Amino acid sequence: MTIPFLKAHGAKNDFLLTAAPDVPQGVPPAELARAICDRHTGIGADGWLHVATPAQNADGEIRLFNADGSVAEISGNGTRCAAAFLIYRGATVSSHVRIRTGAGVKHLLLLERDGLRFVFQMNMGVPEIRARNLALPLAQGPRDVTLVWVGNPQCAIPVENFDFDWRRLGAEIEAHPHFPDHTNVSFFRALNEHALDVRFYERGAGETMSSGTGSTGAVAAALARGLVLSPVTVNTPAGPLELRANPSTQEISLVGPAEIVGEGFFHYAKIDANGPRTR
């Protein structure tokens, strides 16, 4: 079984993209997602995007599977990669790209293009603060967190530094009973009134180098706590993302890259319990 793919990353948050008609039938897509995203036996990625064109009131529609096979509502970095995919494949020639996601239609504006590298401004919508200061009970004691909805669930946690095992803590919080559907986790510290340093532990993927929705959640939490003012530069391990809150609508826009790095075919091999590997 062969699956065509294009690989792209948004600030080193990497995705595989396949046109929806090319997704094989007869095998659960979660199983295929785990196989193709595996970094040792597959192509390797944080997630797999099925891209359908055309879409209702949009240039394309995406369905996102995390590396563990679970379905996610949206990824900011992944949506930018999907916009790059649509332009690269000629599905749209406009600099304004509309993509339907599990969190609604998102609007992106192409700001720059240099070959296979794109820079988009994306409307991330209006974040919903669901709990500004929640004392979340954890193994090492309660932790002050902010819960934000940005089209997917975010748990944003202010920290003084990253000199602790934040990956272990992120894994504990992601699967915490308070979040029956799991949550994305971001740890942030304010560098000044217009800059945050952020680390990410994402639902279904684990540690990622950056996150568009995670950055949005961290900025929304920091704004709600009075730690920063718009605009905000989010410094991720992969580099900066620029976010700005509209003072009248409260919508947050994010400026960030998407870069196509390869394309090819994944040859899916399934282990048959009654015999050898088959293709």
At residue 54, the pLDDT reads 87
Q: Find all residues with CB under 8 Å of 275, minimum gap 6, and list them.
A: none
Fold match flag (2-122+259-272 vs 128-250): yes
Q: Which CATH superfamily is domain 128-250 in?
A: Diaminopimelate Epimerase; Chain A, domain 1 (3.10.310.10)
Q: Which CATH superfamily is domain 2-122+259-272 in?
A: Diaminopimelate Epimerase; Chain A, domain 1 (3.10.310.10)
Residue 278: pLDDT band with limits 50, 70, 90: very low
Eight-state DSSP code of residue 55 = B
Mean confidence (pLDDT) of the chain: 95
Give the DSSP letter string of 4-41: EEEEEEETTEEEEEEEGGGSPSSS-HHHHHHHHH-TTT
Locate the domains of the chain by residue range: 2-122+259-272, 128-250
For the chain, percent of residues with pLDDT exceeding 70 = 97
Q: Which tokens is 143 given?
A: 């932790």
At residue 68, the pLDDT reads 97
pLDDT in tens, 81-113: 999 999 999 999 999 999 999 999 999 999 999
CB-side neighbour CA atoms (13 Å) of 146: 27
C-beta of residue 53 within 8 angstroms of C-beta of residue 59: yes
Alpha helices in the chain (DSSP H): 29-37, 76-88, 166-174, 212-224
Whether 270 has a pLDDT exceeding 90, the answer reads no
At residue 271, the pLDDT reads 52
Whether 238 has a pLDDT exceeding 60, the answer reads yes
pLDDT in tens, 13-70: 999 999 999 999 999 999 999 999 999 999 999 999 999 998 889 999 999 999 999 9
Whether 183 has a pLDDT exceeding 50, the answer reads yes
Identify how many contiguous H helices and E strands the chain contains and give both numbers: 4, 19
Residue 269: pLDDT band with limits 50, 70, 90: confident
Mean pLDDT for the stretch of residues 179-208: 97
Tell me the pTM. Answer: 0.93
C-beta of residue 97 within 8 angstroms of C-beta of residue 111: no
Whether 277 has a pLDDT exceeding 70, the answer reads no
